[in-house]
Amino acid sequence: MKFSGEILVEHTHSEVKTHWLERAGPQLVLDIDDAELLDEEIENTIEQYIADTGIHYVDEFASGGDWVTCQFGRVEVPIDSWHCKITGTNCPIQAKIDLTDKERFLHGCNIEASEETVQAKYDRSPEEFKEDIWDTVTDGDYEGHHHHPGTAPCSFCEDANRRDSYYLPWEMTRLTDHLGDYEDARSSVELVQEGIAYKLGDAICSTCFVSLEESYPSVDFSVYGIDLNTYDTVEYTFEP
């Protein structure tokens, strides 16, 4: 299981504060005097956070005790429907493998629709391939983490042609958490025209947040209490 991505941070004098969704837990506030140590300090803190909290969060979504997410499933956005990577079609069981009901999985999975692909790529018949998947999840070799369950799409990524991207809660924030006056922003004519006013409460990834000025050059976000010069992203990678 490997975690990697970008965290949004805000610089305020000698403090650095993370900004992520509330379900990721309390924000981290670091007292850092040496700016050169920023990345290292943040990365170490995030790594410790994931070790203590993040893994447990993902575990809650990766499996429900009696089921796991199929490693050949992928989320189709923006409709949030699970599709099969092999057949390229909607998954009849929505990538959910019930560990207490093997027959339901064997009959529900429609991998037979791509028999030639399975045979050519994996040198297995569809029946053998499904048995392999079942053995993998029941033996505990795979626990569903591959797809980062518990992630969510960034509504601003759709505008940036990154619609397939999903993010963990500590990689996202909301504009409402940074605005000076929500009502002023919500009723702003320019934000309405730019399509931003309707997404103020939506989750936005850290990359899209720090790129707001580039994405909307005609909007002065400081008018709404957001000084983009005080924000930055810090990359992290953690593999327990």
Total Cβ atoms within 10 A of residue 33: 6
Contact 226, 175 (CB under 8 A): yes
Domain ranges of the chain: 3-36+150-238, 67-142
pLDDT confidence of residue 2 = 61
Proportion of the chain above pLDDT 70, given as a percent: 79
> Alpha helix locations (H) across the chain?
38-49, 55-62, 102-108, 115-122, 126-138, 182-186, 189-193, 206-210, 212-215
Residue type, 212: L
pLDDT digits (tens, 9 = 90+) for 227-237: 999 999 888 77
**Residue 94, both tokens:** 């929505």
pLDDT confidence of residue 97 = 86
Q: How wide is the angle at C-alpha 99 spanned by C-alphas 98 and 100, nearest 5°?
A: 90
Q: Predicted confidence band at 85 (pLDDT cuts at 50, 70, 90)?
A: confident
pLDDT digits (tens, 9 = 90+) for 123-134: 989 999 999 989
pTM, two decimals, is 0.64
Tell me how far apart the alpha carbons of residues 197 and 201 are, in angstroms, rounded to a whole number. Answer: 9
Helix, strand, or coil (residue 30): strand
Token look-up 């791509």 returns 114
pLDDT confidence of residue 5 = 81
Say if residue 78 is preceded by a cis peptide, omega within 30 of 0. yes
Beta bridge partners of 16: 11, 30
pLDDT digits (tens, 9 = 90+) for 168-224: 888 899 999 999 999 999 999 999 999 999 899 888 999 999 999 999 999 999 999
